[in-house]
Chain A
Amino acid sequence: MNRDFELCPDADMVLRALGADPEVVRERRSPALSVAEQAVAEGRPLLSPVVVSESFEVEQFRHERLRLANGHLSGPLVAEHLHAARYVVVAVCCIGPGVEEAASSCFAEDPALALGLDAFGSAAVDLLGQAVCQLVDARASADKERTSVPLSPGLVGWPVADGQRQIFALLDASPAGVSLTEGYMMVPKKSTSMAIGVGADVEHSGETCDYCSMAATCRYREEHISHHG
């Protein structure tokens, strides 16, 4: 378990998580900017990032099924991206329950701030996921290997129920305080789970967003892409 992460989502990230273009919001001097700034100020002290992760050697790949040391990952998306992996890093990342609890408790009084805090939480867990990917990338590069695009349950070709069942069977996320509901939803909500393939022959094709069922209409993705060029 790793708690050594410093996450600093800023107001622009909050606005992007809400589907807004920060530059336009700033130009308009919209009160939405102060909501985002307040969400950052109130949300940062509540962050308690934690990651549980483990590497699993790939024992066999057959019929869209990757057999690992202690379990398996399967499905069309897994087959497409992880078939050439030497090992797979499975991770569950969470920013703790503080931010979403604050969002819930202030909703009646200030719904705009509540949604701002929710967006802050989304931006923070996104950053945490990126940080994990960077760590896996660094280790792979040192070994002259490559990493796949990170795969999360719910992407097209890896249904939520299948993916979460497989990941949580491989990994005990309880030390991080993360559990699954009957509907395979992670609690705390501001959590993400992923599998990354590592190996010399692994191809990093596309981006995670390319495999999201909302790729065509997602405003967050549009803003994210335009921001990162």
Chain B
Amino acid sequence: MALIEELREAVVDGQAKLAVAKVTEGLEDGIEAGRLLREGLIQAMAQVGRLYEEGEIFVPEMLVAARAMTAALGVLKPHLVEEGVTASAKVAIGTTKGDLHDIGKNLVAMMLEGSGYEIVDLGVDVPADKFVEAIKAGADVVAMSALLTTTMTNMQVAIEAIKAAGLRDQVRIIVGGAPITKSYADEIGADGYAEDASSAVRLVKEVLAA
């Protein structure tokens, strides 16, 4: 089995130590870090996302795969910098003002990072102006999460603030969280809605391509 295939398998199976070993071996063998990232880690996480969406694996298995990917990415990062490999886009992610839930947001951030995006994690209880600042700092996508019906309305507040700052055309906005629906996303003027971490990755690709 080729090394890159073994790397993909290690990530999909959630074998963090093996994934790190395969990345290290690949670098020692002279394989470019960018190739290990694209053909190894990113493809593995895409496969993980597919398996989850097809109901073949569960959230905790997606998590351990993401953990293996993160461990391997840690080894790759300095080499990616040396090679001048940059992220395909920058995503600023946060839970809306008034909401302290972070688990779903963190999971989405992990999956996006594993798919080659640069993540700016704004944290929880994020006021509208922080999203605006993130766009000014170069975010291509803003991803907002809310778990409560009482806090999801702050998504609209943030979108209005982004519009008021004249930045709406420069950014794609996606939303998610337990009480959010596609019709709510449409109603508040978001570019898309994702129902879980895996579909968030697909959605980011779609909105960036649109």
Chain A interface residues (CB < 8 Å from chain B): 15, 18-21, 24-25, 28, 30-32, 35-36, 103-104, 107, 110-112, 114-116, 118-119, 154, 159-161, 181-185, 187, 189, 213-214, 217, 219
* Contact partner, A189, options B15, B60, B67, B100, Cβ 8 Å: B100
* Contact partner, B61, options A30, A161, A184, Cβ 8 Å: A30
Q: Chain B contacts of A118 at CB under 8 A?
A: 103
Are B150 and A32 in contact (CB-based, < 8 A)?
no
Q: Chain A contacts of B59 at CB under 8 A?
A: 18-20, 115, 219
Are B151 and A183 in contact (CB-based, < 8 A)?
yes
Q: Chain A contacts of B61 at CB under 8 A?
A: 20, 25, 28, 30, 32
Q: A35-B64, A185-B100, A217-B195 are in contact. List 10 more A-B contacts (CB 8 A).
A: A18-B63, A30-B61, A30-B64, A31-B64, A36-B60, A112-B63, A112-B67, A118-B103, A185-B101, A214-B178
- B76 at interface (Cβ–Cβ under 8 A)? no
Q: Chain A contacts of B150 at CB under 8 A?
A: 160-161, 183-185
Are B98 and A181 in contact (CB-based, < 8 A)?
yes
- B116 at interface (Cβ–Cβ under 8 A)? no
Are A35 and B148 in contact (CB-based, < 8 A)?
no
B contact face: mostly helix, strand, loop, or mixed: loop
Q: Which of B70, B148, B150, B179 has the most CB of A within 10 A?
A: B150
Tally of contact residues, B, Cβ under 8 A: 29
Give the Cβ gap from B199 to chain A, nearest Cβ, in Å: 13
Are B67 and A18 in contact (CB-based, < 8 A)?
no
- B118 at interface (Cβ–Cβ under 8 A)? no
* Contact partner, A154, options B58, B60, B64, B149, Cβ 8 Å: B149
* Contact partner, B58, options A20, A103, A213, Cβ 8 Å: A20
Q: Chain A contacts of B103 at CB under 8 A?
A: 103, 115, 118
